[in-house]
A and B are shown apart, each in its own frame.
Chain A
Amino acid sequence: MTRQSSVAVDVKGSPSPLAGLARSARIIVCCGSGGVGKTSTAAAVAVWAAAAGRRTCVLTIDPARRLAQALGLDLLANAPRPVKGKGLPTGGPGSLDAMMLDMRRTFDEVIERYARDEEQVDRILANRFYQRLSSTLAGTQEYMAMEKLYELHESHRYDLLVVDTPPTRSALDFLDAPDNLNELLDARAFRLLIAPAQRIGRGYLRGLNLATTAMTKMVRRVTGSELLAEVGEFFAAFEGMYDGFKERAGLVYDQLKHPSTAFVVVATPDGAALHEAAFFAGRLAADRMPLGALVVNRIHRAGPVPQVPQAARRRLAAGADGRLLADLLELHDGLEALAAAEQRRVRELLVSVPSLGVVQVPLLADDVHDLPGLRRLGEHLFA
């Protein structure tokens, strides 16, 4: 599949909106709150796309151990590895690779790649502020996921990249991540804060100048001076790399907006998860990101059973099997009510995003933790 042909995402006539996406999108980003089956959904989409003949790579952040094993994921590699197992394409056009993101390693690699020389690399990697920035700062993980995504995208090794976003405080932080990190890395802004008075200039800037001097004092007093020194050293070491970061963040953002990208929002029919999904869909729409589909996992369904009036149920209390049947009916009522409540909640969500294609996946009997499990999940996703 060539790069050009993948732009149009046509889902008409295909029963699942995911089928069209998995056939033609270049990037699928799965987002949703934690615990909704995002990682397995991403992996199942990738397995299906590989079987459909595409060179596919699934990029995941924090997979469950058994699923990671099934995918042959190895954190130490921080690079895609082929997934081996029954039912995966061998020798055909399609293939499946998987990788697990190591945020710190990715950040280090970015520094190594874009630094002037060894000395700059060493200075940055040894800096305590950098160490904290690269491993704990909220937003860095999202940014690094996007950085890795862009790197893989540019390598042209794959027809399709499926990304599983990290389950963060707001799982859409990655949309802000380039901005946040840029704001942070904009050494100019920081210099403004720590600059001696004379560097700032004259005239209308004088007010700001006064403010920043006061702020410098405050930061010193509140944090002690070591923090400032570390931060200052970091920005000194980072000199010259800032523009590259800014430029790539822009490129990543543009790629995410491109019509060959599709965002898939994953949820469960639980109120909180759907609430988050609505927030996601709204946020993506506001940023004009290409919204592909909504996947709702773990849907309950009740079979067809005629209504049995209460009077008739009371007569069932006679024997053990009768009482059992009465309990079965009550369980069925509960299941029906649950299924109806779930459908109502999904419909309510769709009011806010009317055009979004929905894929509902029934509650599966077992946790998905191996390739056959992913294929079974795929059958529901692409039914």
Chain B
Amino acid sequence: MLDALDQVRLLLVTGKGGTGKTTVAASLAVAAGLRGRRTLVAEVEGRQGLAGLFGRRSLDHREARVAERVNALAIDPDESLREYLARYGFAPLARLLTWAHLNRFITAAAPGLGDVLLVGKVWEAATRQARDSQEAYDLVVLDAPPTGRVVPFLRAPQTVAELARVGPIRHQADRVRDLLDNPERTAVVLTCLPEELPVTETLEGVVSLRAAGLPVAAVVANRVTGDRLGGRAGRLAALAKDPAPLRAAAAAAGVELDGPALGTLLGEARDRQRQVARERRMLKELRAGLDRLPMVELPFLADGAGSPEQIRILADRLAPAEPEVRPRGRARRAAVGGAGG
């Protein structure tokens, strides 16, 4: 269970590419929603990764309800620029920009300005007070850029503010920093896989995020293979050499499996044990490197993690829902498929 889920206003999910960043961000949002928090989950990379996880074709700059107490949003720099200009009283100019197709030029001409606008929008959602037109949230979960890019991304407002020493950008940059650097309001979660490269990159990511003063709260080890055969590796090895006892057990139960079939079963089981052992080694290395930083494991789901049902399974693993909505043994068992529990 991630304590941060109940406490902070902003959860930033980052990780090496391919480690399930988007899946974990969606699952954290659903978990928070189930625990009663009004939650917004947002993506910023224009990949439309969140939409499918909630059974939708696409998401845009309008906040759309995707699960219980969860809204989702795909933030794009153009739209954020329009909003930003409108907020500072430049609405007519925003319309003019659109008319002249110059938005793209503006965001391209000032490096980092796109990121400034994206981070600014996240800040706006996380600190928003409820208005007639827009909901306020208890928690914003951001599917942030991958570890290699996340620090420059989150620090873009500061970077641009260094060039712009005065004016609204400077002012906003300071307020964004106040939110991001406060461990009581913001938590960074890194996703990882039990594999060599992701473990190395996660540990490096923790160091660089901390060096930048960002509050790292936890690591989620994703797609961990379940260990069904734990403690029986020795027996498996013996049976692989001499499968006679297994054949006898099959015969005694009237199970028709010939030598090659038993050989296949043993081979698959030993492959899997090797996989489990390798993952355990990697997770041990990860845990050692993380010192006392909390780590949560998510199971490998045989059917992938691309649907709302699967996101719900992972959400339940990340945090049990509030007691009154708790009994969901069915969903949990469904997770076992290829993973074991």
Contact = CB atoms under 8 A, between A and B. Distances in A.
Contacts of B246: 321, 324-325
B18 A36 contact: yes
Interface stretch (A7-15, A69-77, A327-335): A327-335
A137 B111 contact: yes
Given A136-B111, A223-B160, A327-B228, A367 B197 contact: yes
B268 A223 contact: no
Interface stretch (B32-40, B85-93, B314-322): B85-93
In the complex, the 8 A-B pairs of residues with the closest C-beta atoms, listed nearest first: A34-B17, A35-B18, A224-B164, A271-B306, A303-B264, A315-B253, A334-B338, A271-B304
Nearest to A37: B18
A3 B14 CA distance: 45
Interface string A39-50: 000000000000
A227 interface: yes
Interface stretch (B59-67, B121-129, B179-187, B255-263): B255-263
A79 interface: no
B268 A321 contact: no
Interface of B: 16-20, 22-23, 45-47, 49, 52, 85, 88, 90, 93, 96-97, 100, 102, 104-106, 108-114, 145-146, 148-149, 152, 159-160, 163-170, 193, 195-198, 200, 228-229, 232, 235-236, 239, 245-246, 248-250, 252-257, 260-261, 264-269, 271-272, 274, 302-306, 337-339
A136 B111 CA distance: 8
Interface in A199-237: 208, 211, 214-215, 218-219, 221-224, 226-227, 230-231
Interface in A223-271: 223-224, 226-227, 230-231, 268, 270-271
Interface stretch (A19-27, A305-313, A350-358): A305-313
B338 A169 contact: no
Contact of B111 (A129, A303, A315, A316): A129
Interface stretch (A51-59, A90-98, A104-112, A337-345): A337-345
A322 B269 CA distance: 15
Given A275-B306, A304-B260, 18 more contacts: A35-B17, A35-B193, A129-B111, A214-B96, A218-B90, A218-B93, A223-B113, A226-B165, A227-B160, A230-B163, A271-B306, A272-B20, A276-B47, A312-B256, A320-B235, A322-B250, A324-B235, A367-B196
Interface in A114-162: 128-129, 132-133, 136-138
B239 A272 contact: no
Contact of B268 (A34, A189, A302, A337): A302
Contacts of A222: 88, 164, 167-169
A345 B52 CA distance: 14
B199 to A, nearest CB: 11
Contact of A328 (B148, B193, B266): B266
A33 interface: yes
A308 B105 contact: no
A35 B21 CA distance: 12
B266 to A, nearest CB: 7
B47 A170 contact: yes
B306 to A, nearest CB: 3
Contacts of B45: 169-170
Contacts of B110: 223, 227, 231
Contact of A184 (B46, B108, B170, B253): B108
A252 B197 CA distance: 32
Nearest to B96: A211
Most chain B CB inside 10 Å of its own CB: which residue of A132, A215, A227, A325: A325
Nearest to A217: B93
Contacts of B256: 306, 308, 312
Contacts of B304: 270-271, 341, 345
Contact of A218 (B23, B85, B261, B302): B85
B246 to A, nearest CB: 6
14 contacts: A35-B17, A35-B198, A64-B200, A224-B164, A224-B170, A271-B304, A275-B52, A302-B268, A308-B255, A312-B253, A312-B255, A331-B229, A337-B337, A345-B304
Interface of A: 33-36, 62, 64-65, 128-129, 132-133, 136-138, 167, 169-170, 180, 183-184, 189-190, 193, 208, 211, 214-215, 218-219, 221-224, 226-227, 230-231, 268, 270-273, 275-276, 302-306, 308, 312-313, 315-316, 318-322, 324-325, 327-332, 334-335, 337-338, 341, 345, 365, 367, 369
Contact of A227 (B46, B163, B195): B163
A53 B267 CA distance: 38
Given A34-B146, A319-B249, A335-B338, A224 B163 contact: yes
B239 A321 contact: yes
Contacts of B257: 305-306, 308, 325
Contact of B47 (A169, A184, A316): A169
Nearest to B274: A365
B158 to A, nearest CB: 13
Nearest to B193: A35
A130 B167 CA distance: 23
A36 B197 CA distance: 11
Contacts of B264: 303-305, 332
Nearest to B102: A215
Given A321-B239, A331-B228, A338-B338, A303 B268 contact: yes
Contacts of A226: 163-165
Contact of B112 (A136, A273, A322, A341): A136
Contacts of B17: 33-35, 167
B164 A169 contact: no
B148 to A, nearest CB: 8
Given A35-B17, A231-B110, A272 B166 contact: no
Contacts of B85: 218
A222 B253 CA distance: 79
Nearest to B145: A169
A290 to B, nearest CB: 24
A331 B272 contact: yes
Contacts of A303: 264, 267-268
Given A223-B167, A271-B305, A180 B108 contact: yes
A183 B52 CA distance: 33
A215 B93 contact: yes
